[in-house]
Amino acid sequence: MPKLLVVDDEIDIREFAKRFFSRRGIDVVTAHDGQSALDAIVSHQPDLVMLDIQMEGMDGLTALENLRSIGDRTRVIMVTGNESQDVMDAVDQFDVHAYIHKPLILEELEKVVLQELKN
Amino acid sequence: MSLNYIFWIAESILIISAIGMIWIWFLQRRRRKIQKLNSKRRYQEILRKASLSMGRIKDLSHLLKLTTHVITRAIKVEYCCVYLFHEESAKFVLKSFKTGDLKIQFCNVISKESLVIKHLYSTRQPIYSNNLDFKTITAKDKDLFVELSLIPAAAVLPCFIDNRLIAIIGLGNKNDRTRYSIDDLMLFSILANQVGMAIENAQFYDHTRAIQEQLIRAEKMATVGTMADGISHQMNNRLHAMGFIAGDALDVLRNKNLDDLPIELKSFVKELEFSLLRLEDNIKRGGELTEGLLKYTRKSNEKFEFIYLNKILEASFDMLKFKIKLDAVKIKMLFGSKEIKIFGNFTQLQEVFFNIIDNAYDAILQRKSILGENDFAAKLEIEAVEKDGAVYIYFRDNGIGVRGEHLRQLFTPFFTTKFDGAKKGTGLGLFVIRQIVEKNHLGKVNFTSKYCVGSEIEIVLPVAALASSSQ
């Protein structure tokens, strides 16, 4: 069963993403900030991470930076919400597989996620 | 003897009556003198009181009320009206009047070109219709008095400040039906001067207050701008969550096999599905809105880079659609065939174009409201030309334009000719444009305009020079 890690500080996002992808036979684990995402990646070894940039606690960019610095190549989809160009340039350096722009239409996210999991 | 006696008596009677007549004449003269003195004293008292109270009043409408009150009550004329000069329309506009028991319909505006105003400008003296000798009247005077009767006024007093006629006061006849005297004339001239100074005082106070209000508004806008950044992010997160919830609910409905359901339940599910689709659509559009807001409020990075002119214009129009309705304006872009590249800061130039187009739109609205032409078609033309390492961008509109006397003040902070109540400008637009173009981009802003015809603003950006100097 493919495994997806959803990282977002909004409980609604985590819950509804879980419901949605579970119905598609995907094992969904969730994390509410950057640090718990890093822990979850180590313990669950997901096939794909959906990572929000702006979060309470450790943000998505820092988490991604830490992840890549320990040599972890887990595939990451970044969820962006009108970040400034500087932030986007920084994220770009860390091997991101796809970007999803907030607010999203779930069908579009589904396409991206299924595509990434298939590869 | 008796004859002598009779003569003596007659002589005495004559002498006595002569003395009596002289006495009576003397008494009458004294009475007239006292009357005159009294009326002079009364006038002086009026002047003293009027100048005391007028100097203290800062509120213009209150001041004008007091003026009409003083004139009708203290000087005892039938009625009185005050017209103030309105720069935008170049007309004198009725601002205050007092008619007592009479019912009078005053004309609302008097053109600057009217004979009355021209006469006041050339003589700087009051005009009195009832002091006129109609036997020696000229044709021109006749026209002048026809105009006076149309106001209607028996006399008109000018209020000059330096060479500017800032107000005129119209008067009816004196209540006692006598003609206006030399003393009246003296009094009126002084009073009109006092009123003129007081009006200018009040207008200056109004202007200062308006500038202060604009300062506060500008500061508020800056705060709102900063807040908008945070609020847009939060709004976007809410929309994002809603997108998830709506999308998931839609997914649940779609995964249900509807075939086995009773028909009414089937249509119920279809209705829900439709509603959720509409919800998704609205979330998407809400997202576009927050994105547009963020683009504008975001503190710009100071990066100068090569950018395409049409991209900046697009971004400006994106922002403008939240503020104004450009549908009624015919917009023409003249860029030639190739794409024009500019070296500069995207956000700053976006703000420049935003302000220019916003101004053009306001000018068009003002033309519509002031001139009220039936066949007016609003136009905005944007032209860009590359020449000798610089890009010349022209914005031409056929809005109301700017009067010659205002042109040199245009770039002064807080100067505004936009008068339309709530939409009144901050007077910062052109100031900001000049700062960005001339200080930050080492370019040039030129503004040409003709009142009632339109305006052209030329932006010159020295692309090659700026690019080489920053590398």
Whole-angstrom Cα distance, residue B454 to residue B458? 14
Q: Which CATH class is domain B302-471?
A: alpha beta
Q: How far is B241 from chain A (nearest CA, A)?
A: 6
CATH code, B38-204? 3.30.450.40
Find, in chain B, the residue whose alpha carbon is nearest to that of A10: B241
Whole-angstrom Cα distance, residue B349 to residue A86? 19
- CB-based contacts of B332: which residues, under 8 Å, 6+ apart? B379, B380, B381, B382
pLDDT tens digit string along B123-173?
888 888 765 555 666 777 788 888 888 888 888 999 999 889 999 999 998
For residues B455-466, average pLDDT: 87
Whole-angstrom Cα distance, residue B238 to residue B235? 5
B189 versus B24: which is more confidently predicted?
A: B24
The CA-atom distances, in angstroms, between B314 and each of A91, A117, B320, B460 are 26, 37, 10, 19
Residue B421 pLDDT grade (very low, low, confident, very high; cuts 50, 70, 90): very low
- CB-based contacts of B96: which residues, under 8 Å, 6+ apart? B61, B64, B65, B67, B68, B81, B82
What is the pLDDT at residue A83? 78
pLDDT greater than 50 at residue B328: yes
| B350, B318 Cβ separation under 8 angstroms | no
Angle (CA) B412 B417 B420, round 5°: 140
pLDDT tens digit string along B66-93?
888 888 887 788 999 999 998 877 889 9
The residue extents of the domains of chain A are: 3-118
Q: Which amino acid is at A92?
A: D
What is the pLDDT at residue B422? 38
CB–CB of A12 and B247 under 8 A? no
B224 versus B177: which is more confidently predicted?
A: B177
Q: How far is A70 from chain B (nearest CA, A)?
A: 30
Helix axes A34-44, A60-69, angle to 10 degrees: 40
Indicate the average pLDDT of chain B: 84
What's the distance, CA B350 to chain centroid?
A: 28
Whole-angstrom Cα distance, residue B29 to residue B62? 42
The residue extents of the domains of chain B are: 38-204, 302-471
CB–CB of B243 and A106 under 8 A? yes
pLDDT tens digit string along A58-87?
999 999 999 999 999 999 999 988 777 778
pLDDT tens digit string along B210-257?
778 777 777 777 777 777 778 888 888 899 999 999 999 999 998 888
The CA-atom distances, in angstroms, between A87 and each of A53, A54, A63 are 9, 10, 13
CATH architecture of A3-118: 3-Layer(aba) Sandwich (3.40)
pLDDT greater than 80 at residue B391: yes
DSSP code per residue over B106-130 = --SEEETTSHHHHHHHHH-S-EEST
Q: What is the pTM of this model?
A: 0.51
- CB-based contacts of B235: which residues, under 8 Å, 6+ apart? B286, B290
Q: How far is A32 from chain B (nearest CA, A)?
A: 14
| B138, B100 Cβ separation under 8 angstroms | no
What is the pLDDT at residue B463? 82
- Quote the percentage of chain B above a pLDDT of 70: 92
CB–CB of B244 and A23 under 8 A? no
